[in-house]
Structure 1
Amino acid sequence: MKRTKNFFSLFLICCSFSFSIQSQEKLPLLDLLPQLEIKFDVKFSYSESDVNAIIVDSPNEADSINKIIETLNQTTILNFKFLNERYITVSTIDKRISICGLVITQANNEPLLGASVVIKNSSKGLITNVDGEFQLADVGINETVVISFLGYENLMVKAKDLRFIDNTCKTIVMQEKNEELNQVLISKFLTTGLQKRIDGSTILNTEKFGILPGLTEPDILQSIQALPGVESVNESIANINVRGGTNDQNLMLWDNIKMYHSGHFFGLISAYNPYLTNKVVVMKNGTPSEFSDGVSSTINMSTKDVIGDDFSGGFGFNLLHVDAFLEIPISKKLALHVSGRRSFTDIFNTPTYDNYFERSFQDSELTTNDDNISESNRSSEFYFYDYTAKILFDFNENHKLRANIIGISNNLDYTESYTNNTDETESKTSNLQQENLGLGTSWNAIWSDKFITDITAFYSKYNVDATDYRIETDQKLTQANEVLETGFKLKTNFKINKVFNLLNGYQFSEIGILNETTVSSPSYSKTKKDVLLNHALFSELEYNKDNTYLRLGVRGNYFQKFDKFIVEPRLNFRQKLSNKLAIKLQGEFKNQSANQKIDFQDDFLGVENRRWILANEKDIPISESKQGSLGFEFKHNNILIDVEGFYKVIDGITASNQGFYNNFQYINATGSYNVKGVEFLINKTANKSSAWLSYTYSINDYKFESFTPSTFPNNVDIRHSVSLAFNYNVLDNLEVSVGGICRSGQPYTKPIEGNETVQNGNTTTVNYDTPNNENLEDFIRLDTSINYNFNISESVLGVFRVGVLNILNRKNSINRYYEVNPDDSNKALQIDNKSLGLTPNLSFRVKF
């Protein structure tokens, strides 16, 4: 009896085990559905093609029909829906799922932080975290997911292939673009959208740009001032100083067009619309040999270069202007990209405009005029605009043609009314107009996996025209400064193998500069025009393998007018010593033939007194620079420490383009300056936050042999500069940024105490002491910004931003000079230019 009982128990266990195994067996869904119809007396409505290839687990015998349907909804790509108690529909329509993935690089399987994951034809998306991971809920199963990252090929993946099932996610491998030679080294540098490449250059990706303190939009030339060694001594983007250089020593390129003008509001905001300017590369040293003509830095801006599938764009406004941009696909091979921006400050004023106006036009005729003309008899009207257009035509995947146009304009009208001797009221209007027009075209051809050619050509026209009526002397002063440049470049890339790349090319440019001054009373006219032709050959070899990156280049420049040949070697080297530490060495020789002259006597209404002039190799030589830098990078646990020492010498500068406020103000002389220093940066990034601290120490001195003393501090000798900022994502769609700047005051020259003026005949001038021997008070500014994103609809995204510059309302002095006191000719009158006070701004944008 006992044996029978044991046998029976064993039989039950085996049957249970057998049933358990059977219940976990797989079977086609197409076979399961008829079985369920018979067992539960239900009817399924479905297309055989939808369910044909789907395999599912056999349900447990005890499961109800509701439990089975719930399981099928969770484990298949189909949507099972009860129409009533008996009828059930089966389809992929309206099926919502959760997706996830791990994005890594093909080269070394490292995770990609900041890769963009977007549902196609919608504003829904996110970026990958520090581990390269992403997860997104409520996604249509038939939707397409677009995964992109700068320097890598875009991927389009069906949502159903990224389903989040059993806590597992698919690995997505990103492949580098063939034309992207310098891979991204740091994908989130300071803030989202700022990235650092292996050659030391920095990329600003405006489409993915996060937030910086004080900014309400990704202003291109404001944003790059977050980088160590890049700042503006007078907080103007028209005066960006890179490692102690002047603004005219920065080469500005927009889609391969050389630009001679960079700012609206005469320098306070960038003149380049950021919403079609897709990528900005900033190079402080170790520049590729294809670039020259900017002895301080190269800022290379590129617009979007891909023909999209759908019509898209955006528009918005802030307290200074309105703007819009459109991406219009005409066909699969042809597209048009356009953008436009215009201020509304000539219609009505805002507090932001009032602050900018006061900052821009202080100490000009607009704010300081003859006492005989009352404030009520003076009026001014100012506006600016810019526009761009780009035609994209793809012959096929390997041959692409592009054509571009960009226009920038600032216009100021200043009217004075007065009563003449016959009691009649007269008015005279002065005008200042500043414009830059650029045209360009390019053809990119991929002839094979190893050989690529690029042909580009451009035309650039810059002009400043001023008409100044001076009522007190009944004099009309007309001035003009015009620059015309045309250029052509042929570049070839030959990929020798996986680690070597050879670049060769030829560049031609012709530049003409006109300067004209006309005075009505007494009658006077002066016109000067110069033209210079330049031919250049360049070549460089790039090596990139494992832990070593090396780029060796040389550029030969021939100036036809002077029969002069200048050779420029280039070096860029980076060696990774371990997974955490790398050293870098860079060097370059560069030249520049066009510079800006500061004209104190003919001052364009006192607002814009910089004129472009051309080298003549007599009293205006071609400027030449030599620069070297050595540093190291330490990266661990999302902490980056970057230290770099540099030394730079610029020969061939003139006293007239430095803007001296001392005894050398009107003396013609040539000289040089040298700057040496160190840049330090520590940056910590996390999923929701980023914080950084940068410090720059430098010594910047002039040397003019004909001056006494011959060596003295540079006008932009900023010994200490500290920048600190913190970004935090309070919510997924709400970000806050706070940061500040603290730097040494700018040098200035004071008069000799007790002997402040000196008289020479009938002329009295300020008697200056040792040049640049004093410094202004330290410049300190604290800024903040808030960014909020929200979905207006499934395919329309709204962005609201608030920014405040100088929230402490600190009265920073940014320049100091002296004039003879009109009430006492024995005394000098001190004049201080002040920075922006507390300046709020807000913006609202819509993207579709």
Structure 2
Amino acid sequence: MTKTKHFIVLLSVYCCFSFGLQAQEKLPLLDVIQQLENQFDVKFSYSIDDVSNVLVDQPIKSNTLHQIIQNLNATTLLNFKFLNERYITVSTINKTIAICGVLVSEKTKEPLLGASVLIENSTKGVITDIDGAFNLDEVGANETIILSFLGFETQVFKAADLMLLDNTCKTIEMQVKSETLNQVLITKFLTTGLQKRIDGSTILNTEKFGILPGLSEPDIMQSIQALPGVESVNESVANINVRGGTNDQNLILWDDIKMYHSGHFFGLISAYNPYLTNRVTVTKNGTSSEFSDGVSSTINMSTKNKINEGFKGGVGANLIHADAFLEIPLSKKLAVHISGRRSFTDVFSSPTYDTYFERSFQDSELTTNSDNISESNKSSDFFFYDYTAKVLFDLNDNHKIRANIIGINNNLDYTESFTNTDNETDSKTSNLKQQNLGAGVNWNATWHAKFSTEFNAFYSKYNVDAVDYRIETDQKLTQANEVLETGVKLKTDFKINDNLNLLNGYQFSEIGILNETTVSAPSYDKTKKDVLLNHALFSEFEFNKHNTYLRFGVRGNYFQKFNKIIIEPRLNVRQKLNNFFALKLQGEFKNQSATQIIDFQDDFLGVENRRWILANNSSIPISESKQGSFGFEFNQNNFVIDVEAFYKIVDGITASNQGFYNNFQYINATGSYHVKGIEFLMNKSADTYSAWVSYTYSVNDYEFESITPSVFPNNVDVRHSVSLAFNYDIIDNLKVSVGGVYRSGAPYTKPVEGNETIQNGNNTVVNYDLPNNENLDDFIRLDASLKYNFNLSNTANGAISLGVINVMNKKNSINRYYEVHPEDSNSVVQIDNKSLGLTPNLSFRINF
């Protein structure tokens, strides 16, 4: 009897277990609907497309019809609704679900930090964390999710395919793009959106850009100064010094258009709108042979290049300007991207504007004119604006055409009123305009899986025009500096195999530069225009396999006017020793034919004192540079140490393009500068924070054989430069950044003590001592930023940002020179140019 009972119990358990398994069996929804119709004598109304390929659990037989329908509503993305007791409708609804995933490399299976996860046609999205994971709540089940990561193929999923089930997230393997060799090495470098490539260049991705100390919103030329070896000695984005070079030695490209202007507000604000300029590549050495000019660096900006299915845009404003951008798809093959920005400083003066104005115009006629003209008798209006437009046309998947235009404008009106001896009031308005207009076209063609071509053509026009009325002397001074350049480039890219690429190309450019000065009393007119044609051939191969990266190229330049050929080899090597350490070696020869000379107080209202000139191969030679660097990298668990020693020689500089405030201020001399140094960077990043410190030590000396002494410190010889910062995500939507800058004071020349002035003909001039033999006080500045992101809807989000430059209001001297005392010709007056004081800025943005 006992055995019989045990058998019955086991049989019952088996039956129940068997039934439980059957209840969990997945069946086609169509079959389940037919079962329910037969069992309960009901009718379902549905579209076959909605219910096909849907699998559901086998209904539990003991459940009522209402319980079964309730379970189907909970476990499917369909809506089951009773019209009455016999008829049930089945329809699709856009339910909101939670999605998640883990992105890993298909080859290495390592997680991908910083990958972009976006909901199509919206601004909602996240960035993957250190484990490659992401989570998104309240996502429409029918939404399309786009997964992208630089150097990998973009993948697209339906949200339902990524739905969180049983606390399990889908693992997604991302495929490496086969057409790119120069992959990203460090995906989060200093802050989100800064990435380090394997060739040593740095990419700034503005769309993913995080936060940097002092900035209320992304500023391209300010942001790149976070990199070691890149700084501005006089705190101006129009004067960025890369490894001891001058600003005119930086090649600036915007969608392959060469630009001759970089800053609004005469250097304090970047002239490039970051919200369509989505990628900036900065190269300090080992440049690709396809690029010439820029003997110190290459700053290559690229705008968004993809045709989106949906309309996107954004608007924003801060205490200086307002801006807007739009991405407008006209069809699947045609789109237009436009942006615009304008200051409102001519109608409203904010505290930020007042600080900027004081900094920009402290050494100009606006603040240093005659004592006979009181503050009440002078006024100034300043404003700037810029705009961009881009047409994107995809003929097909293999042929893509792009056309671009960019305009940058600064305008200053300065009015003086003067009461003459007859008690009559005279008023004159002076004007300064600074403009850069660029246009370009690009055709990218893929002829074969292994062979593609790219054709570029551009037009760039830069001009500064000034009309300066000297009201006390009844003199009118008109000045103009104009640069006009056109160029074409054709390059071919042949993929020999998965590890080796071959690049070849030809480039032609024609550049003309005009300088004109006209004076009314006494009558004087001087106009000088030079034109130079350049032909170039370039070739390079790029190899990347396992632990070795190698790029070697050569560029040949032919200057038609001088019948001169310049050959420039380029080298870039990186050898990985193990999973953590790598050695890198870089070298390059480069040249440039257009440089800037520095004028002084009586030029362009004393505001813009730089004008472009063209090499003549005699008194103004073509500048040529030779640079080499060697270093190592350590990268483990998002902890990076980067050390690099460099040596650079630049020949063919002139005394006039250095801006000397000493006895060499007005002499004609050609020479060179030699800079050697070492850059150190340490960076630790995680999901919620990033901290870094960088240090640069360099020695930078001039050598002019015709000058005594022939060797002396460079104007930008900053021996020690330190920057450090800490970014922290207080909560998901609230970020804070604090950082500081310390560097040695810039060199300056003081007068001979006890004999400060001497006679030079009929003029008394300052008698300067040894050039650049003194240094200003050390430069110290502390900055901070705070940013809060919020969602307005499923398709729109906003951000409020506060940035404060120079939190401690430190009065840093950035330049010092001397003038003869106006009342005592035997003594001098010391003039110090000061840096920005305490400068807060607040911005508000909406993206949709």
Taking structure 2 as the reference length, what is the TM-score of the superposition?
Answer: 0.97
Residue of structure 2 equivalent to 1:724: 724
Residue matched to 2:338:
338
Segment of structure 1 superposing worse, 486-495 or 122-131:
122-131
Aligned-pair distance for 1:420?
Answer: 2.2
Q: Residue in 1 aligned with 2:402?
A: 402
Q: Give the direction of change, closer, same or farther, for the CA distance of 1:613–1:93 in structure 2 (3 Å limit).
A: same
Partner Cα distance (1:756, 1:139) in 2: 75
Write out aligned runs for 1:731-810 (5 A).
731-810=731-810
User: Aligned in 2, Cα 1:340/1:6: closer, same or farther, shift over 3 Å?
Assistant: closer
Name the counterpart of 2:565.
Answer: 565
Q: CA deviation at 1:73?
A: 4.6
Q: What is residue 297 of structure 1 aligned with on the other side?
A: 297
Comparing 598-607 with 624-633, greater Cα deviation is found at 598-607
Q: The residue matched to 2:371 in structure 1 has which SS?
A: coil
2-side partners of 1:192 and 1:68: how far apart? Answer: 48
45-54 or 785-794, which moves further after superposition? 45-54
Equivalent in the alignment of 1:51: 51
Residue 595 of structure 1, CA deviation: 0.6
Q: 2:418, 2:472 within 8 Å by CA — same for their partners in 1? A: no
Provide the C-alpha distance between the structure 1 equivalents of 2:49 and 2:558, rounded to a whole number of angstroms: 70
Q: Report what 1:839 is aligned to.
A: 839
| Offset of residue 148 of structure 1 | 2.0
Partner of 1:116: 116
Q: Which moved further from structure 2: 151-160 or 370-379?
A: 151-160
- Pairing 1:361-380 to 2, within 5 Å after superposition: 361-380=361-380
Which residue does 1:700 correspond to in 2? 700
CA distance in 1 between counterparts of 2:74 and 2:690 reads 37
- Provide the secondary structure at the position in 2 that maps to 1:721: strand
1:513 Cα deviation (Å)? 0.8
Which residue of 2 is the match for residue 360 of structure 1?
360
Aligned mates of 1:223, 1:2 — CA distance in 2: 84
Identity %: 75
- 2:661 corresponds in structure 1 to 661
Q: Specify the SS of the correspondent of 2:380.
A: strand
Aligned position for 2:644: 644
CA distance in 2 between partners of 1:834 and 1:184 (Å):
40
**Does the CA contact (< 8 Å) of 1:361 and 1:367 recur in 2?**
yes
For the structure 1 residues 88 and 638, does the alpha-carbon distance in structure 2 shift closer, same or farther, using more than 3 Å as the test?
Answer: farther
Quickly say closer, same or farther: Cα 1:66–1:695, change in 2 above 3 A: farther
Pair 11,693 (structure 1): closer, same or farther in 2 beyond 3 Å: same
Query: Any gaps of 5 or more consecutive residues in structure 1?
Result: none
The alpha-carbon distance between structure 1 residues 304 and 19, as it changes in their structure 2 partners (threshold 3 A), is closer
16 and 394 in structure 1: CA distance in 2 versus 1, 3 angstrom threshold: closer
Instruction: Work out whether 1:591 is the aligned partner of 2:594.
Output: no
Query: Structure 1 residues 595-604 or 564-573, which shifts more?
Result: 595-604
Give SS of 2:367's match: coil
Contact 2:319 2:842 (C-alpha < 8 Å) held by counterparts: yes
Structure 1 equivalent of residue 140 of structure 2: 140
1:498 shift after superposition: 0.8
For the residues of structure 2 that align with 1:179 and 1:359, how far apart are their CA atoms?
48
Counterpart-to-counterpart distance in 2, 1:290 and 1:541: 12
How far residue 573 of structure 1 moved from its aligned partner, in angstroms, is 0.6
Amino acid at match of 1:122: S
Other-structure match for 2:270: 270
Distance in 2, matches of 1:25 and 1:310, equals 41
Q: Write the deviation string for residues 23-58 of structure 1: whole angstroms up to 9, x where unpaired.
A: 333333334346567878987654444334333333
CA distance in 2, matches of 1:181, 1:6: 70
Match of 2:415 in 1: 415
The code of the aligned residue for 1:778 comes to D
Q: Give the C-alpha shift of residue 154 in structure 1.
A: 2.8
Instruction: Tell whether the 8 Å contact from 2:219 to 2:274 is kept in structure 1 after alignment.
Output: yes
Q: How far has the Cα of 1:831 moved from its partner?
A: 0.6
Partner amino acid for 2:263? G
Asked if the contact 1:79–1:95 (Cα under 8 Å) also holds between the matched residues in 2, the reply is no
- Report the AA paired with residue 685 of structure 2: T
Q: Deviation of residue 161 (structure 1)?
A: 1.2
Q: What amino acid sits opposite 1:505 in the alignment?
A: G
Asked if the contact 1:543–1:550 (Cα under 8 Å) also holds between the matched residues in 2, the reply is: yes
Secondary structure (helix, strand or coil) at the match of 1:211 reads: coil
Q: Which amino acid aligns with 1:813?
A: S
Q: Quick one: distance in 1 between partners of 2:277 and 2:10? A: 76
Q: Distance in 1 between matches of 2:713 and 2:418?
A: 46
Residue type matched to 1:354 in 2? D
Change (3 A) 1:546 1:80: farther
> SS where residue 94 of structure 1 aligns?
coil
The answer as to whether partners of 1:325 and 1:340 remain within 8 angstroms in 2 is: yes
**Is the CA contact 2:364–2:601 (under 8 Å) kept in the aligned structure 1?**
no
Cα deviation 1:630-672 (Å, max 9, x = unaligned): 1111111111111111111101111110011111111111111
1:426 aligns with 2:426: yes
Name structure 2 gaps, 5 residues minimum: none
- Give the Cα–Cα distance (whole angstroms) in 2 for the partners of residues 476 and 233 of structure 1: 34
TM-score by length of 1: 0.97
Q: Which amino acid aligns with 1:474?
A: D
Name the counterpart of 1:714: 714
| Structure 1 residue 330 displacement after superposition | 1.6
Compared CA separation, residues 486 and 11, structure 1 to 2 (3 A)? closer
In structure 1, C-alpha distance between the alignment counterparts of 2:350 and 2:455, rounded to whole Å:
46
The residue type paired with residue 276 of structure 1 is L
Residue in structure 1 matched with residue 485 of structure 2 by the alignment: 485
Q: Are the counterparts in 2 of residues 123 and 791 from structure 1 also a CA contact under 8 Å?
A: no
Q: CA deviation at 1:70?
A: 6.0
Query: 1:84 and 1:103, CA in 2 relative to 1: closer, same or farther beyond 3 A?
Result: farther
C-alpha distance after superposition, 1:670-719 (max 9, x if no partner): 11111111111111111111111111111111111122221111110111
Cα gap change, 1:125 to 1:86, in 2 (>3 Å)? farther
Q: Distance in 2 between matches of 1:438 and 1:397?
A: 28
Q: Which residue of 1 aligns with 2:556?
A: 556
Q: In the alignment, which residue of structure 2 is the partner of 1:442?
A: 442
Distance 1:524 1:628 in 2: 48
Distance 1:14 1:534, change over 3 A: closer
**How far is 1:175 from its partner?**
3.5
- Trace 1:535-546 onto structure 2 (pairs within 5 A): 535-546=535-546
SS at match of 1:788: strand
1:450-478 deviation line (CA, Å, top 9, x unaligned): 11111111111111111111122221111
What does residue 619 of structure 2 align with?
619
State the match for 2:311 in structure 1. Answer: 311
Aligned AA for 1:278? N
| 2:751 counterpart letter in structure 1 | P
- Counterpart AA for 1:111: P
What is the distance in 1 between the residues matched to 2:385 and 2:326? 17
The 1:530–1:57 alpha-carbon spacing in structure 2 relative to 1, beyond 3 Å, is same
How many pairs does the alignment contain?
Answer: 848
CA contact (8 A) 1:92 1:142 kept: no
> Is 1:321 the equivalent of 2:321?
yes
Conservation of the 8 A alpha-carbon contact between 1:79 and 1:94: no
Which residue number corresponds to residue 386 of structure 2? Answer: 386
Q: Secondary structure at the match of 2:792?
A: strand
Q: Is the 8 A contact 1:105 1:111 kept in 2?
A: yes
Offset of 1:165 from its aligned partner?
1.2
What is the RMSD of the two structures over their aligned residues, measured on CA atoms?
2.0
For the residue of structure 2 that corresponds to 1:709, the secondary structure is coil
Q: Distance in 2 between matches of 1:84 and 1:369?
A: 90
Query: Which sits farther off after the overlay, 474-483 or 249-258?
Result: 474-483
Kindly state the Cα deviation for residue 791 of structure 1 after the two structures are TM-superposed. 1.8
Aligned partners of 1:68, 1:237: CA distance in 2, in Å?
A: 68
What secondary structure is seen at the aligned counterpart in 2 of 1:366? helix
Structure-2 residue corresponding to 1:575: 575
Shift of 1:6: 3.8
Aligned to 1:823: 823
The alpha-carbon distance between structure 1 residues 486 and 19, as it changes in their structure 2 partners (threshold 3 A), is closer
Deviation at residue 59 of structure 1 after TM alignment:
4.7
Give distance in 2, aligned partners of 1:66 and 1:573.
70
Structure-2 change in CA distance of 1:65 and 1:548 (3 Å): farther
Offset, 1:794:
2.2
Distance 1:49 1:255, change over 3 A: closer
Does structure 2 conserve the Cα–Cα contact (< 8 Å) formed by 1:72 and 1:80? Answer: yes
Q: Is the partner of 1:447 in helix, strand or coil?
A: strand
